[in-house]
Chains A and B, each alone.
Chain A
Amino acid sequence: MDFSLSTEQKEIFEVARKFAIKEMLPKAAEFDESAIFPREIIDKAWELGFTNTCIPSEYGGNGFSLLDAVTIGEALSYGCMGMYTSIMCNDLALSPIVIGGSAEQKEKFLRPFTEKPLLASFCLTEPSHGSDAAGIQSRIKEDGDDYILNGEKMWITNAGHADLLIVYCTIDPSLKHKGITAIVVPADLDGITVGKKENKMGQNCSDTCGIRFENVRVPKENVLGAVGEGWAIAMKTLDHSRPLVSTIALGGSVRAMDCSIDYANERKQFGIPISKHQSIQFMIADMAQKIEASRLLIQKAAWLSDNNLDSTLIASAAKAFTADSCMQITTDAVQIYGGYGYSREYPVEKLMRDAKLIQIYEGTSQIQRLVISRKVLGK
């Protein structure tokens, strides 16, 4: 057993960390306050090879393992959780093509992402179907060589800027998950309307919108795998993307702990730095434990996936544990800052707002427990 990263992974982490500290961190507060989409940062990140980590080298990608990808994810999320949500969104959106696409589909849809900084969105959630994703209502109907797509999606990350949409829909809602189909939809097709950007609690720079599909004509050849295979593709995608999303929590947690340590050493009350008060020390000790455990769960989930072993349980455990830990850690960071922590002049209240989302998207913390309990109870 070996817990160390490879020399290249260490170098990748260092360069990603440098990028996060020099390019992302200084803009995090302003981009949050004014809800500015981090287009320039995404483009620079693409330039350096931090995006689209899931694209295999045969199609122009860097051929990264998931362990490489989570190493990048932790480093970048340290700079800004919201920016990284928008950066990693392509991995979530393109994974279904990597997992379920044919060689021609991969060549056609993935390669352009390695040639230009394009964006893709993963469109699963609907206004009335979130956790209960198998019940989605967006529908395709056969029409000659095409399918006609109708429906509505909600909470779609990067939707306002996406070039390509990976849409989950059903051929017949009564079939439940057996009817679910994943289809690749270029965002400029007729009949697609992107709603206004949601006004969120946190991760404000990241773009989130609803999308409406009205009689959108999509060629049949854009279906990934076959009609009815969408659910299996979505589940495999989540095994891959949950460790990555977990790195958002991990990077944010490390940042919150660093801020807490600096502040606790500087701030004096009762004549001594507050870091000399045991209750503050213990809060920071709890942060350190949770961060260490978060990283190990993420790395294990990634390692299982890289070795084609069943990673569902550990990926869900990583997602729930890192998200819940990040919520606790960022809340404690605000506590350590006291009144200053509650002010937007200081960095930690943003971390707390950003953290909340991680307990919700990519399967809520409750849904992760559902997945885990089914696995361990053998149901």
Chain B
Amino acid sequence: MIELFKELVDAVSSPVTIFTGAVVVFLLFVTFPRQAASKGGGLTLLFLVLAFFGVGLTDKHFRSIVSAPDNVPIVGMIFIFGYFTWYAMRKAVENDRRMEKGEPTVEQAETNDKVLVFPYLIFIEFVVALAYAVGLVLWSLFLKAPLEEPANPTVSPNPSKAPWYFLGLQEMLVYFDPWIAGVLLPTLIILGLCAIPYIDRDPGNSGFYCYQKRRLGIQVYLFGFWVLWILLIVVGTFLRGPNWNFFGPFERWDVHKVVPLVNVNLSDLLFIKWLGWGLPKEWYLREAPGILLIFTYLILPPAVLAKTVLKGLCKKLEPVRYSILMFLLLVMLSLPIKMYLRWAFNLKYLVAIPEFFFNI
């Protein structure tokens, strides 16, 4: 029975199914916040994850990966982040309910005065910091950080894994050029996060949790954080094995596993396969369609949306902030788009100019 389950899980596991599954869970969570944030919803989710780990731990391979000292915190992270996401949603939903009935929110009911950061907030943070410090000390006492051989530039361990907090980036690098995934996207993530208060300047609904009135922000955040970051870390940690091949959770890490991954650039597809002309000599002719496509992608949707569905938003934010917001959102969406293009068409790069180390 358990064997069957494990085989089934391995058989359906692939980057596509896992990613798509996560998107579905995300969509369910944000469309049915009430159910998801209820006690029953939370417990069901917790039970499912625990059951999966429980069954998984009977497997020797799964156990060895999950209990590797570097990976233990990632397991912890799944539970901690899961809990806090559920808890925040719970508070938001509670306030939504109250506001619907015209009652004051939990926070307003407590007091309508401003509360001082010191000592109220600082005190709580101090206690939490203490608890985490204790946790860190215990962790470092019981789980040893392994010392490996001296570094040698001509030997890369197989698989070579970045520190856990960078595994999301490493997973992104599978689909992107180093300049994009290693420099541009991280910079935009940080700048984008910094820009939030300047983009969303609406003072309403601040000071308390709520979901209905802040849907867009919360959904974008949950998608970016959970699906595009935490999920990629989890995949990179547990499911990427030798040669950075993908392995199911219970699959033995076979160094000789062969996965056909041959991929081609958009220019190859277009000029050789579809048109049958052969590649143009000059790089700007060769990459013109890709460049055009990128520009269309960045310009057309914001323009169309500003005139139609998002008319109100555009008016509220004014053109500059609206364009910045749209640009950030489109860049964020480009990651899943690029991933699906790779999976569906074996597409390597939309624009490939190796002559100038520039590939998108």
Physical interaction between A and B: no
B interface residues, Cβ below 8 angstroms from A: none
